[in-house]
Amino acid sequence: MSEALSYHDGLIEQGYTEEEAVEHTLRYFPDFSLDGRKPDPAPPPGFDFIPSESKPEDEAAQPLVDLDVLKFKAGKFFDKSRKWVKDNQKIVYSASGILVALVIIYMVFQIPASTHPIEGSWTKADGQIFEFDMDGTFDDGTGNDATWEIDGDELIIVSTVGDGDDATEIKQTLKQGFSDDEKAMWIMWVGLEINGEDASSEVENTCILVIKDSSSYSEDASKYISKRPSWCE
């Protein structure tokens, strides 16, 4: 083997490539082989030659995931899921219905509530404050239960004075109009009912100016005196 190796190394020194050197060496030394190691050294004096064990070839790398097993398990899971859904259709449909209902409720609550310019706090010339709340309740400081609603250009306020059999229902109908900036509002009484009986003559054609969120009525109102609508005389 040393003669074959010497021949091989000599070819390398002459400029042959490794592949060419091995090819030519095998032509004359059929048992020649290179395993990337130097040839075995001579044994120590008095010992028989023991050749090195050949290096075992690397076992083929095993795949991390067995695709066949994975496909089989996925198929089994799909079959079980489909069978469960089929056997429990009522539960599935009920859960789906609840989910849809919750989504609809959520979407409804996301829709902003419509607002009207009248909502808020308005001050009269005598300092009395009218509160028109978003939920349709009305407060004029008297402590009576009252509600408000808009019908076209009319404002309708219904109040209940007293309790029980002594309670009196008062319905006021007023024409209303706003300034361009919606900070001033003119209201004129066009109708009054007390327990269903007409009492419009007591307030008919009375028109007043109220200012929204006013800190100084006289100062704020002066900006709108000249803008009073023709129907408010």
Same domain, 46 and 7: yes
Same domain, 76 and 98: yes
What per-residue confidence (pLDDT) applies to 9?
Answer: 87
What per-residue confidence (pLDDT) applies to 59?
Answer: 47
Same domain, 193 and 134: yes
DSSP string for 106-119? HHHHHSPPP--TT-
Same domain, 47 and 83: no
Same domain, 76 and 17: no
Q: What is this structure's pTM?
A: 0.50
Name the domain count of the chain: 3
* Distance, CA of 179 to CA of 181 (rounded, Å): 5
Using one digit for the tens of pLDDT, what is the confidence trace for 124-149? 999 999 999 999 999 999 888 999 99
In a domain, residue 199? The reply is yes
Phi, psi of 95, deg, nearest 5: -65, -40
Using one digit for the tens of pLDDT, what is the confidence trace for 193-217? 999 999 888 887 789 999 999 889 9
Question: Higher pLDDT residue, 110 or 152?
Answer: 152
Report the percent of the chain where pLDDT is more than 70. Answer: 82
Same domain, 85 and 149: no
Same domain, 137 and 180: yes
DSSP string for 21-86? HHHHHHHH-TT----SSPPPPPPPTT----PPPPPPPPPPPPPSS-HHHHHHHHHHHHHHHHHHHH
Three-state DSSP at 133 gives coil
What per-residue confidence (pLDDT) applies to 53?
Answer: 59
Same domain, 148 and 223: yes
In a domain, residue 82? The reply is yes
In a domain, residue 128? The reply is yes
Residue 41 has pLDDT above 70, yes or no: no
In a domain, residue 115? The reply is no
* Distance, CA of 55 to CA of 52 (rounded, Å): 9
Same domain, 83 and 176: no
In a domain, residue 49? The reply is yes
Using one digit for the tens of pLDDT, what is the confidence trace for 55-105? 554 444 455 566 766 777 787 787 777 777 777 877 767 777 888 888 888
Same domain, 90 and 131: no
Same domain, 210 and 127: yes
In a domain, residue 60? The reply is no
Structural domain harbouring 23: 1-55
Same domain, 5 and 87: no
In a domain, residue 211? The reply is yes
Least confident of 13-27, 129-143, 185-199: 13-27
In a domain, residue 232? The reply is no
